Amino acid sequence: MEKPKPNKGKSPAVKPAPAAPAPAPAKLPPLFRGIDWLVLIVCFAVMWTAYLLTLAPDLTLEDSGELCTASFYAGIPHPPGYPFWAIYSWLWTVIVPFGSVAWRVEVGESFAAAMACGLVGLMVSRGGSMLIEGIAELKEMNRKWEGAICVVCGITAGLMLGFDNFMWKESVVINRISVFDVPWLMVVAACLMRWIYGPHQKRYLYIAMFFFGVCATIHQTMLCAAMGIEVAIAAAHPKLGRTFFWPTASFTFAFCY
């Protein structure tokens, strides 16, 4: 049996050291504080109470009769059909066991509108605090004063949206789909705000995209918001924003030419 020859003048092969695992991102504190959620609750409670006290008792004008009939049967109203609105309003005709069909649909619409006001208050309250933190002259402000300013600004913004003449009329008097997109678009904005706060947590971006798809099934005019959403994504994550710009650019090119 032959003996292995000695490896003269050659150093033994050295295995490369395994690469160190990438450090896990630090756990972020919650973006929205307790006072921000308080603003949401106050805005929602005030607006839904005001809406419930002023709901039209029965059918009104314009598309009210057609849309309420579609809601009662979970059917499809006039084109393009508004599938998510039809399912949502039908659920409220089932959940609320009393009152006319039109009144039940209005209860559901007023709930969604009040939630939109609450989400606006939530984002304004937190955004105001972030704005104060970004101004050097205001960084030393007393935290109690900062919290008071954020609460007042958030509640004011939410109530101003809710008591707007068009928003109120469309939510409680005429069964329409004009403002039904607003609460779901506010969910998109809130999720994007949370994702921009922690871009590595992409689940919030995915949730925002899901609800933007919901917006598109309610009314196709919401597709115009895609450009603003893409700009927000590009500002937080340029590489990802470039990927998002491709569908819009392709659609625009195909539509124009």
User: How confident is the model over 154-179, as pLDDT tens digits?
Assistant: 999 999 988 888 777 777 665 567 77
Q: What is the pLDDT of residue 28?
A: 76
- Considering the domain boundaries, does residue 215 fall inside one? yes
Whole-number average pLDDT of the chain: 78
CB 148 within 8 A of CB 38: no
Are residue 132 and residue 216 in the same domain, yes or no? no
Q: What is the pLDDT of residue 4?
A: 55
pTM of the predicted structure, to 2 decimals: 0.78
- Whether 132 shows a pLDDT value over 80: the answer reads no
φ, ψ for residue 62, nearest 5 deg: 60, -125
Q: Residue 156's domain spans which residues?
A: 32-177
Per-residue model confidence as pLDDT tens digits over 175-188: 567 777 888 889 99
- Considering the domain boundaries, does residue 23 fall inside one? no
Are residue 165 and residue 211 in the same domain, yes or no? no
Instruction: Output the CA torsion sign for 77, 81, 82, 83.
Output: positive
Q: Is 17 exposed, middle or buried (0-12, 13-18, 19+ CB in 10 A)?
A: exposed
- Considering the domain boundaries, does residue 16 fall inside one? no
Are residue 79 and residue 184 in the same domain, yes or no? no
Domains in the chain: how many in total?
A: 2
Mean pLDDT value across residues 81-110: 81
Are residue 228 and residue 135 in the same domain, yes or no? no
